[in-house]
């Protein structure tokens, strides 16, 4: 479906790109024509689907720095509801875990406590999230704070507490949620599973089919959990065991009690900090000598200076493309920047900096590639930055003054400060 068919009849929001899609809705990156700010617009896939209305009702009274902020709710010409939210720039917790597999214990506990504070604000308004998982937590790039989002199946405890659908992500659902019941202890269980995954790199039930995973959760036994927790730090094991108890009454009475238990648990500060992990995720190796801005490897221009002075890298590839002089690896058949073919190809081992695979040949490609260096398939621009440059179409960030790939100066928008 054409993206231009979405969003309101007044054409207030200009669609720039699609951020993601799911079974209930898709999220579009848009620019507000009035305020000139970037927004994430969530559009329902079907007419008459009121899940977005429930999400808006759950978020309209919430004002917390760890919860995504909703600006308005509307209906497009075809009758689909849409929800306008803040655009959060940064990876999801799932992206970080996919890249690093596991996080240092003190970073994982710190993130868990921040998420718990956001859930406390949700529970204080009488709601339960019911779908807390790493895909619904975004690590905001500038504040380095986890932001909880996706309240599509959040439940109002004042309206229903006993029965309902078992919607949610299976690997993070407690036994009572599989039976259709939601309580504040439901989010305690889900947060404990997320914390366990941050510490060990996997969920306690392992990778299994749906029926097998549901059986393991329903037949959850303390002894089995103790056996699987050998990879988690020893001081945290009793805290996680209590939070993941099969009986909700045996868990912490509230998410605040779980957060206080995490705060009282001694964890040594070993390994990289969250700031260093984000820099490694974005492949930031140095700063600009002129303005001190973080520079991602393979940037050709400083995005803050925007003065058309090409950057010089001493740790680039050994050879260069004969057409655009972009750094290339000897094993590549084509330049990843301009797609030019290379006559001599070495059998050298491919570089380890690849962040994805070509959809055509499944070859490993670097995250900055515009063409597959193996089969010359045209690839989409950088997945981390969703705003396209008007000059070259490459992904850029809202905070940059210039495009780091083509050097074009950008019109920097003034963004409003969000209220705490």
List the catalytic residues.
Answer: 131
CB < 8 Å & 24+ apart, contacts of 413-417: 413/36, 413/37, 413/38, 414/36, 415/37, 416/35, 416/37
Could you give the CA distance from residue 348 to residue 108 in angstroms, rounded to a whole number? Answer: 38
Q: What is the DSSP string of 306-349?
A: -SS-----SSS-SEE-TTT--EE-TT-SB-TTT--B-S----PP
Residue 176 has φ and ψ, to the nearest 5°, of -65, -30
Phi, psi of 397 (to 5 degrees): -105, 150
Residues 6+ apart with CB under 8 A from 2: none
Cα 288–292–294 angle (5° rounding)? 70
Nearest to 393 by CA among 86, 141, 16, 15: 16
Close Cβ partners of 221 (under 8 Å, ≥ 6 residues apart):
246
CA distances from 403 to 205, 243, 328, 387, 389 (A): 44, 46, 21, 11, 7
Helix or strand (DSSP H, E) at 240: helix 237-243
């Amino acid at each position: 479906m054409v993206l231009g068919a979405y969003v309101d009849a007044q054409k207030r929001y200009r669609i720039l790109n699609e951020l993601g899609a799911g079974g209930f809705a898709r999220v579009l990156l848009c620019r507000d024509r009035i305020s000139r700010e970037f927004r994430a617009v969530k559009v329902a896939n079907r007419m008459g689907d009121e899940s977005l209305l429930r999400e808006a009702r759950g978020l309209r009274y919430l004002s917390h720095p760890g919860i995504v902020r909703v600006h308005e709710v509307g209906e497009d010409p075809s009758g689909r509801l849409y929800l306008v939210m803040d655009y959060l720039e940064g990876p999801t917790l799932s992206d970080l875990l996919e890249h690093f597999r596991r996080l240092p214990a003190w970073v994982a506990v710190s993130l868990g406590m921040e998420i718990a504070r956001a859930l406390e604000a949700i529970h204080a308004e009488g709601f339960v999230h019911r779908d807390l998982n790493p895909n619904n937590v975004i690590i905001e790039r500038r504040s380095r704070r986890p932001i909880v989002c996706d309240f599509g199946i959040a439940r109002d405890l004042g309206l229903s507490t006993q029965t309902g659908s078992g919607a949610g992500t299976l690997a993070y659902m407690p036994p009572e949620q599989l039976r259709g019941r939601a309580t504040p202890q439901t989010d305690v269980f889900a947060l404990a599973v997320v914390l366990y995954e941050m510490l060990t790199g996997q969920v306690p039930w392992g990778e299994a089919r749906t029926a097998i995973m549901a059986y393991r959760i329903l037949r959850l036994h303390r002894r089995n959990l103790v056996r699987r927790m050998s990879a988690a730090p020893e001081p945290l094991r009793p805290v996680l065991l209590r939070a993941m108890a099969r009986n909700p009454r045996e868990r912490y009475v509230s998410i605040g009690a779980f957060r206080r238990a995490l705060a009282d648990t001694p964890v040594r500060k070993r390994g990289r900090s969250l700031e260093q992990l984000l820099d490694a995720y974005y492949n930031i190796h140095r700063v600009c000598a002129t303005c001190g801005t973080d520079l991602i490897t393979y940037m050709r221009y400083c995005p803050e200076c925007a003065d058309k002075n090409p950057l010089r890298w001493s740790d680039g590839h050994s050879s260069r493309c004969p057409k655009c002089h972009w750094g290339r690896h000897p094993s590549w058949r084509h330049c990843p920047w301009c797609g030019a073919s290379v006559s001599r190809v070495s059998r050298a081992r491919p570089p380890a900096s690849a962040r994805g695979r070509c959809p055509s040949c499944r070859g490993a490609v670097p995250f900055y590639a515009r063409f597959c260096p193996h089969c010359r398939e045209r690839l989409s621009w950088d997945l981390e930055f969703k705003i396209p440059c008007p000059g070259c179409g490459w992904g850029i960030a809202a905070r940059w003054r210039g495009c780091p790939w083509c050097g074009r100066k950008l019109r920097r928008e003034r963004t409003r400060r969000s209220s705490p």
